[in-house]
Structure 1
Amino acid sequence: MNKRLMRSNDRVFAGVCGGLAEYFDFDPTMVRLAYAFLTLFTAFSGLIFYFVLWLVMPERNLIEH
């Protein structure tokens, strides 16, 4: 199976953390918590990282499984 890093339909905001969780086969809640800690402890530079990923990662089509 060919895996692609794509934004998830299981989303809270834009689907970036959900997409990372699906790609690396992690629990989405754990990825979201890790992202929140990263953002808080890096003086909010995680927000820039999130928005860059939001722009770069393609959105998963609703039809695609």
Structure 2
Amino acid sequence: MMKKLYLSEKNKKIAGVCSGLGEYFNIDPVIIRLGFILFSLLNPLTIILYLIATLIIPQRNNHTKKIAPPKNDSESKEK
């Protein structure tokens, strides 16, 4: 099964990019956040890349379809 990168909903601080990367690479998101801060101090282009990643990386779709229980046939026959 192929791993997919998603924005994280569990451990997000701003948009979930760093925590999503942490989940994908099995790394603590704090390390990725510290790296992001360091790189953004050295090169402000990192902030633009973060915004682009926020737009490109999809959100995980955790919504499951709720299926209505089947109607009881005896109720409909009585009417």
TM score, norm. by length of structure 2:
0.73
1:58 is aligned to 58
2:46 is aligned to 46
TM score, norm. by length of structure 1:
0.87
Deviation of 1:2 (Å): 2.4
* Percent identity for Structure 1 against Structure 2: 38
**Stretches of structure 2 lacking an aligned partner (at least 5 in a row):** 65-79
**How many Å separate the matches in 2 of 1:50 and 1:27?**
18
Q: Number of matched residues?
A: 63
Secondary structure at 1:3's aligned position in 2?
coil
Deviation of 1:60 (Å): 1.5
Moved over 4 A (4+): none
1:12 is aligned to 13
Flag the structure with more relative contact order, 1 or 2, with Cα contacts below 8 A and sequence separation at least 6. 1
**Stretches of structure 1 lacking an aligned partner (at least 5 in a row):** none
RMSD: 1.4
